[in-house]
Amino acid sequence: MPSSFAIVFASLNIVAGVLTRTKKFIFRTVRRLPYIGKKIDAEVEKQCLEMEEKFHETTKGQSYLQKLPAEGMSEVKLLKRLMCYLYFF
């Protein structure tokens, strides 16, 4: 026979699941409204452009390999180059 705690916990869990699904449904539906959808898209686009600008500012002056060198690099030189990329930001 299940304990009363288990029964209460299970019923609360079911209610929480229903509330979560209901909230997700409402927010998903509201996001599909034309006015709100356009505002969200504009804000996402603005944030993407801002991130791209910050990235370009932080990597200004950094040179990247865009094609394979004629000769291979030693392991030490390769690790040093990778660390430069990793810690440049």
Q: In a 3-state reduction of DSSP, which class is residue 33?
A: coil
**How confident is the model over 54-76, as pLDDT tens digits?**
877 777 777 777 788 888 888 89
64, two tokens: 């990247």
| Contact criterion met (CB below 8 Å) for 88 and 58 | yes
Total-model pTM: 0.48
The span from the CA of 44 to the CA of 38, in Å, is 10
Structure tokens at 13: 């869990």
Contact 37, 31 (CB under 8 A): yes
- Per-residue pLDDT, 73: 85
End-to-end CA distance of the chain: 60
- Express each pLDDT in 2-31 by its tens digit: 566 666 666 666 767 778 888 989 999 999
Provide, rounded to the nearest whole percent, the portion of the chain with pLDDT above 70: 80
